[in-house]
């Protein structure tokens, strides 16, 4: 994957870079999804970050919890009735004790669904090539364009520099 | 103290690649404790459970004491990571990973103990609900099955809670640490890039995990307490056990966390990250829980004493005045009398003070678990069933091995993973413009609201 | 008709001879603990005779109370067993299934009468005592819980015999080893579902009490005891 990117020391500069790339993107033949931002920490409160904030993970976790409850219910009801062995004068499937197990399996379902959703929506594990630069880990924010058309390169470089980058690199 | 991102990463990745002789010495000591435990367990499996000190009527002693103790210690991570995350308390940032690591390791040790304490440990898998040719499933009415499901849930949840925030740090380590370690971190990092979308997904997932793991933690130790409360014997059949155990667990968990943090601070040279203010905050929490513990202990014993039930009084006197009195009063000294002045008086609430208080609390809470189990079993209803208990070398070795295992797991972990969450620390250092877009700046003179830029400092 | 096995122990007759204890050991292949293990509290007496002094000298009175598994209807030992090694049979017995037991010892802790025992080691019998083992009863290996079964092997043998002969069981046709051995005839065993059995009759008597009845375990062992004021025996 070829990419053209620049590193910015503060998020405002990165935001300016992203804004100008989006504005001129159509003219230069660059789609929005080719604009990539990479950072070593989350930047909540900035548009370049928050536009990706929409998520259905809360709903999915709740649905996962319901599935967990159903699975738990299958365990505590049907396994006990398959080979019924009375104990201590209690009913075979008391609601109190079943409730405890259902509670736990609900939470387990919600937790596992959350993690699976995270992995899927974040694209992990990501086996392909990543756009990265060691400077990211020193606090810089990488803003770049993947697979830019050759004709657009000089203009893109200019925009990235205008936003405040010290240097523009290629990957 | 504003550290740059570069400094943070350098400081926290350095312990991964540089090892002092003290480290190897510690590993050797912890490793030999674990090996002694393995030997003791093999001895027990070969000769029979009779090599323990258990007898009729004391069928549980050190084994379940250790089980409840380690599950209790595991509540450290939940409190710090989850509750402080939800409350957005900035001071949690350097503390979360060591706390979460304690949780996972303590839970793992706590989960192994019930297997080791069985009369026939090679059949432990009968507790797992799976279809067998015998057509029989486990008994879900048994508190031990509730333990199994609860600990499974909590262990899965807290392992994931530990691993998820490790992904970005593994990404950093993958890129910054050279050699064979880079491949290991590459595996953990799962190809993490660091795009805003990934950050948001990760933060949402951790938000849900934080919300979910707190009720799970509360339920786990409640269920562990129901191993006792569900029996009709004197001293155990008490409704207060649920909350009592949860409070005791968080209490011992905070103490364990303070000790672990102090050791990390000293040996990994994290003096600038784990500052006295952190120990001050945790010390205040420990103080709160010491008072809570005292309240619950008083409430439980008062109820027994005031009710004057013969069997209950017998257990109560055995604990407070009888053969267990030295242990009981040692427990009170360790859990309240020593920690209270140290933690309540600001001059003493230093790192050293917090460590002394925590060490006594850890001892006191171990004693508390022991004193819940053994006096009741020694003094059940019928006088002919009263007995006495003495531990043997096998049980003592296994107890020591538990601590050795904890130390060993922690030592290995601290060598493989940065013990402070680098990205969270970095995010806390920078001023987050949370209110940047949405803040309403109220101008009292003009009495109109107008949108403006209000920068909020949410670091620390 | 389903049986409901129960026992009645007459404390006014019990002399404390402990022949029942010996008979139980012999019938049920219970290993002898030996002096060292017994000193450590590992002796397994499925039935034990408890001795209580009542009153002060010169009016001191001795009372003997055999305690065995009460085969409770609402047994606290049953729901706590994770592997169903302890469960309630349709005939009202609290069964202990040896091969399902993994030795969590929860049942022993839950039992208020403390009538459950653990095999701390594999049992051994010095030769030639091994020839005396009862072939109808399993020998329990290490880590397994055990307790009084009302000599379920004798119950089953009698039931199978009666079924083969196509008749009902008669009251008193068979007894557990302890009941059979009791010299003062302080122990009676039978079917509570039969209103005419000796056990039913005695259970309805004015002297009948139950041990720790207030706990709600609903035991099936009844103790007959005259009020201590009236009887100077």
Q: How far apart are CA C95 and CA C106, in angstroms?
A: 15
Q: Do C87 and A89 touch (CB under 8 A)?
A: no
Nearest to B385 among C114, C142, C217 (CB): C114
> Which of B 134-153 lie inside 8 A of A, CB atoms?
135-137, 139-141, 145-146, 149-150, 152-153
Answer yes or no: is B25 within a domain. yes
| pTM assigned to the model | 0.93
Q: How far apart are CA B295 and CA B273, in angstroms?
A: 34
CA distances to B7, B136, B174, B176, B413 from B416, in Å: 19, 43, 12, 14, 5
Answer yes or no: is C217 within a domain. yes
Q: Categorise residue C65: left if φ over 0, alpha if ψ from -120 to 50, beta otherwise.
A: beta
Nearest chain C residue to B387, by CA: C41
**Lowest pLDDT segment from A56-65, B70-79, B426-435, C197-206:** B426-435
Structural domain count, chain C: 1
Return the bridge partners of C5, or none. Answer: C191
The H or E element that residue B13 is part of is helix B5-17
Nearest to C105 among B59, B124, B138 (CB): B59
First to last CA, chain B: 11
Here the tokens at position B247 are 């409070």
Let me know whether B136 and B185 are in one domain: yes
Does this complex have an ipTM over 0.90?
yes
Would you call C96 helix, strand, or coil by DSSP? strand
pLDDT in tens, A93-107: 999 999 999 999 999
pLDDT in tens, B315-367: 999 999 999 999 999 999 999 999 999 999 999 999 999 999 999 999 999 99
Q: How far apart are CA B23 and CA B32, in angstroms?
A: 14
3-state secondary structure B208-242: HHHHHHHHHHHHHHHHHHHHHHCCCCCCCCCCCHH
Mean pLDDT over the full length of chain A = 88
**Do the Cβ atoms of C107 and C128 come closer than 8 Å?**
no
User: A85 to chain C nearest CA, in Å?
Assistant: 6
Let me know whether B84 and B105 are in one domain: yes
Let me know whether B421 and B453 are in one domain: no
User: B120 to chain C nearest CA, in Å?
Assistant: 5
Would you call C5 helix, strand, or coil by DSSP? strand
| Cα B248–Cα B249–Cα B250 angle in degrees, nearest 5 | 95
Would you call C62 helix, strand, or coil by DSSP? strand
Return the bridge partners of A146, or none. Answer: A3
Answer yes or no: is C146 within a domain. yes
Answer yes or no: is B213 within a domain. yes
State the residue range of the domain holding C146.
Answer: 5-224
A chain contacts of residue B164, beta-carbon cutoff 8 Å: 115, 118
CB-based contact, B141 to chain C, within 8 Å: yes
At C229 the pLDDT is 36
pLDDT at C159 over 80: yes
> Which of A 85-114 lie inside 8 A of C, CB atoms?
85-90
Q: How far apart are CA C43 and CA C53, in angstroms?
A: 23
Per DSSP, B61 falls in state S
**Lowest pLDDT segment from A35-39, B312-316, B353-357, C8-12:** A35-39
CB-based contact, A170 to chain B, within 8 Å: no
Q: How far apart are CA C39 and CA C35, in angstroms?
A: 6
**Do the Cβ atoms of B382 and B70 come closer than 8 Å?**
no
CA distances to A40, A158, C29, C201 from B427, in Å: 9, 30, 70, 81
CATH 3.30.1360, applies to A3-53+129-170: no
pLDDT tens-digit profile, chain B (460 residues): 467 888 888 888 888 888 889 999 999 999 999 999 999 999 999 999 999 999 999 999 999 999 999 999 999 888 788 998 898 888 888 899 999 999 999 999 999 999 999 999 999 999 999 998 888 899 999 999 999 999 999 999 999 999 999 999 999 998 888 888 888 898 889 989 889 999 999 999 999 999 999 999 999 999 999 999 999 999 999 999 999 999 999 999 999 999 999 999 998 888 988 999 999 999 999 999 999 999 999 999 999 999 999 999 999 999 999 999 999 999 999 999 999 999 999 999 999 999 999 999 999 999 999 999 999 999 999 999 999 999 999 999 999 999 999 999 999 999 999 999 989 888 887 665 544 443 344 444 443 333 333 333 333 3
Ordered DSSP codes for A28-94? HT--GGGEEEE-SS--TTSHHHHTT----HHHHHHHHHHHHHHHHHIIIIIHHHHS----TT--SS-
Answer yes or no: is C229 within a domain. no
Per DSSP, C195 falls in state T
Ordered DSSP codes for B64-94? HHHHHHHHHHTHHHIIIIIIHHHTT-GGGTT
At C228 the pLDDT is 42
Q: How far apart are CA B417 and CA B109, in angstroms?
A: 20
Instruction: Suggest the residue from B169, B205, B223 to mutate for an interface test with chain A (most A CBs closer than 10 A).
Output: B205
Where are chain A's structural domains?
A: 3-53+129-170, 57-121
Q: Do B423 and A87 touch (CB under 8 A)?
A: no
Answer yes or no: is C181 within a domain. yes
Would you call C86 helix, strand, or coil by DSSP? strand
Per DSSP, C99 falls in state G
CA distances to A7, B37, B193, C146 from A38, in Å: 9, 48, 7, 66
| Packing angle of the helix pair B351-378, B310-320 (nearest 10 deg) | 140
B chain contacts of residue A63, beta-carbon cutoff 8 Å: none
User: B433 to chain A nearest CA, in Å?
Assistant: 6
Q: How far apart are CA C34 and CA C48, in angstroms?
A: 17
| Cα A107–Cα A113–Cα A114 angle in degrees, nearest 5 | 90
Q: How far apart are CA B275 and CA B365, in angstroms?
A: 26
CATH of the domain at B116: 1.20.1630
Here the tokens at position A30 are 């660059």
**Do the Cβ atoms of B371 and B328 come closer than 8 Å?**
yes
pLDDT at A166 over 80: no
**Do the Cβ atoms of C130 and B145 come closer than 8 Å?**
no
Q: How confident is the model at residue A34 (pLDDT cuts 50, 70, 90)?
A: confident
Q: How far apart are CA B327 and CA B334, in angstroms?
A: 10
Q: How confident is the model at residue C182 (pLDDT cuts 50, 70, 90)?
A: very high
Q: How far apart are CA A71 and CA B153, in angstroms?
A: 14
Which residues are CB-neighbours of A64 under 8 A, at least 6 positions away?
Answer: A109, A110, A111, A112, A113, A114, A116
Neighbours of C161 (CB within 10 A): 13
| Packing angle of the helix pair B351-378, B276-307 (nearest 10 deg) | 20
**Do the Cβ atoms of C34 and C51 come closer than 8 Å?**
no
Phi–psi pair at C215, nearest 5 degrees = -80, -10
C chain contacts of residue B385, beta-carbon cutoff 8 Å: 113-114
At B433 the pLDDT is 52
Cα atoms in the Cβ-side hemisphere of radius 13 Å centred on B395: 21
Answer yes or no: is C148 within a domain. yes
Cα atoms in the Cβ-side hemisphere of radius 13 Å centred on B129: 22
Q: How far apart are CA C76 and CA B230, in angstroms?
A: 9
User: B368 to chain C nearest CA, in Å?
Assistant: 19
Task: Express as a percent the part of chain A with pLDDT over 70.
Answer: 99
For residue C189, give the nearest of C2, C22, C4 by alpha carbon: C4
A chain contacts of residue C218, beta-carbon cutoff 8 Å: 89
Structural domain count, chain B: 2
Q: How far apart are CA A74 and CA C69, in angstroms?
A: 35
State the residue range of the domain holding B447.
Answer: 436-460
Answer yes or no: is B238 within a domain. yes
Per DSSP, B384 falls in state G
For residue B402, give the nearest of B366, B360, B437 by alpha carbon: B366
Per DSSP, A148 falls in state -
More confident residue, B94 or C6: C6
At B378 the pLDDT is 97
At B109 the pLDDT is 97
Which residues are CB-neighbours of B108 under 8 A, at least 6 positions away?
Answer: B155, B409
Here the tokens at position B1 are 């103290």
Answer yes or no: is B377 within a domain. no
Here the tokens at position B145 are 């099955």
pLDDT at C232 over 70: no
Mean pLDDT for the stretch of residues C92-99: 95
| Cα B70–Cα B74–Cα B77 angle in degrees, nearest 5 | 160
**Do the Cβ atoms of B374 and B324 come closer than 8 Å?**
yes
Mean pLDDT for the stretch of residues A135-160: 86
Task: Express as a percent the part of chain C with pLDDT over 90.
Answer: 86
Q: Do C84 and A85 touch (CB under 8 A)?
A: yes
Chains that touch A (3 or more CB pairs under 8 A): B, C
């Amino acid at each position: 994957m070829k990419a053209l990117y620049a590193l910015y020391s503060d998020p405002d500069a990165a935001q300016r870079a992203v804004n100008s790339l989006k504005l001129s993107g159509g003219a230069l033949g660059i789609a929005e999804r080719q604009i990539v931002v990479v950072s070593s920490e989350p930047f909540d409160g900035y548009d370049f970050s928050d536009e990706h904030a929409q998520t259905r993970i809360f709903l999915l976790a709740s649905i996962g919890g319901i599935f967990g409850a159903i699975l738990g219910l299958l365990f505590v009801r049907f396994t006990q009735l398959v080979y019924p062995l009375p104990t201590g004068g209690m009913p075979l499937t008391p609601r109190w004790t079943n409730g405890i197990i259902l509670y736990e399996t609900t939470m387990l379902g919600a937790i596992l669904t959350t993690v699976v959703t995270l992995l899927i929506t974040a694209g992990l594990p990501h086996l392909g090539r990543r756009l990265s630069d060691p400077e990211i880990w020193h606090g810089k924010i990488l803003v770049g364009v993947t697979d830019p058309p050759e004709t657009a390169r000089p203009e893109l470089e200019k925009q990235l520099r205008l936003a405040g980058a010290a240097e523009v690199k290629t990957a | 103290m504003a550290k740059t991102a570069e400094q943070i990463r350098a400081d926290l990745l350095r312990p991964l690649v540089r090892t002092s002789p003290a480290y190897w010495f510690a590993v050797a000591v912890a490793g030999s404790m674990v090996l002694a435990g393995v030997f003791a367990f093999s001895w027990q499996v070969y000769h029979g459970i009779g090599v323990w000190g258990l007898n009729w009527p004391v069928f549980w002693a050190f084994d379940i004491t250790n089980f409840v103790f380690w599950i209790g210690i595991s509540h450290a991570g939940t409190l710090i990571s989850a509750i402080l995350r939800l409350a957005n308390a900035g001071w949690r940032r350097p503390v979360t990973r060591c706390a979460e690591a304690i949780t996972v390791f303590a839970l793992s040790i706590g989960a192994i103990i019930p297997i080791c304490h069985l009369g026939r440990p090679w059949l432990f898998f009968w507790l797992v609900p799976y279809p067998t040719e015998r057509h029989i499933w486990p008994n879900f009415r048994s508190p031990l099955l509730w333990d199994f499901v609860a600990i499974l849930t909590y262990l899965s949840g807290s392992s994931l809670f530990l691993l998820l925030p490790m992904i970005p740090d593994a990404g950093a380590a993958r890129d910054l640490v050279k050699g064979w370690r880079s491949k290991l971190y590459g595996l953990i990092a799962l190809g993490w890039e660091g795009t805003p979308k990934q950050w948001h997904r990760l933060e949402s997932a951790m938000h849900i995990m934080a919300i979910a793991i707190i009720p799970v933690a509360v339920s786990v130790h409640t269920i562990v307490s129901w191993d006792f409360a569900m029996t009709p014997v004197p001293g155990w059949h008490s409704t207060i056990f649920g909350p009592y155990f949860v409070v005791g667990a968080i209490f011992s968990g905070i103490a364990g966390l303070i000790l672990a943090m102090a050791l990390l601070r000293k040996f990994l040279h994290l003096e600038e990250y784990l500052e006295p203010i952190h120990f001050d905050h945790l010390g205040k929490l420990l103080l709160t829980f010491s008072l809570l513990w005292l309240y619950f202990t008083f409430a439980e014993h008062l109820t027994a004493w005031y009710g004057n039930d013969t069997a209950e009084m017998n257990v109560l006197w055995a604990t407070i005045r009888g053969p267990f009195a030295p242990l009981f009063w040692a427990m009170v000294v360790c859990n309240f009398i020593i920690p209270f002045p140290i933690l309540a008086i600001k001059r003493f609430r230093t790192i050293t003070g917090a460590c002394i208080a925590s060490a006594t609390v850890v001892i006191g809470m171990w004693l508390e678990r022991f004193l819940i189990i053994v006096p009741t079993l020694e003094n059940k209803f019928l006088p002919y069933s009263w007995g006495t208990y003495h531990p043997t070398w096998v049980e003592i070795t296994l107890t020591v091995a538990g601590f050795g295992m904890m130390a060993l797991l922690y030592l290995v972990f601290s060598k493989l993973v940065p013990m402070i969450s680098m990205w969270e620390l970095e995010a806390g250092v920078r001023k987050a413009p949370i209110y940047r877009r949405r803040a309403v700046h109220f101008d009292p003179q003009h009495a109109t609201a107008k949108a403006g830029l209000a920068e909020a400092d949410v670091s620390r | 008709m389903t049986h409901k096995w129960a026992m009645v122990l007459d404390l006014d007759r019990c002399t404390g001879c402990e022949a029942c204890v010996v008979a139980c050991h012999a019938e049920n292949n219970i290993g002898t603990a030996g002096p060292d293990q017994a000193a450590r509290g590992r002796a397994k007496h499925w039935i034990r005779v408890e001795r209580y002094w009542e009153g002060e000298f010169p009016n001191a009175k001795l009372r003997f109370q055999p305690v065995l598994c009460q085969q409770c209807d609402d047994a606290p030992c049953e729901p706590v067993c994770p592997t169903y090694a302890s469960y309630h049979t349709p005939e009202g017995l609290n069964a202990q299934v040896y091969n399902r037991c993994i030795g969590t010892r929860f049942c022993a802790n839950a039992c208020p009468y403390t009538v459950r025992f653990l095999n701390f080691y594999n049992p051994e019998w010095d030769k030639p005592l091994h020839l005396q083992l009862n072939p109808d009863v399993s020998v329990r290996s290490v880590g397994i819980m055990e307790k009084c079964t009302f000599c379920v092997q004798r119950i089953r043998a009698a039931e199978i015999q009666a079924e083969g002969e196509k008749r009902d069981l008669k009251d008193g046709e068979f007894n557990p080893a302890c009941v059979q051995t009791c010299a003062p005839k302080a122990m009676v065993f039978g079917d509570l579902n039969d209103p005419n059995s000796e056990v039913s009759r005695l259970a309805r008597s004015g002297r009948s009490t139950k041990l720790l009845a207030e706990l709600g375990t609903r035991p099936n062992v009844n103790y007959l005891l005259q009020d201590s004021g009236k009887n100077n025996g």
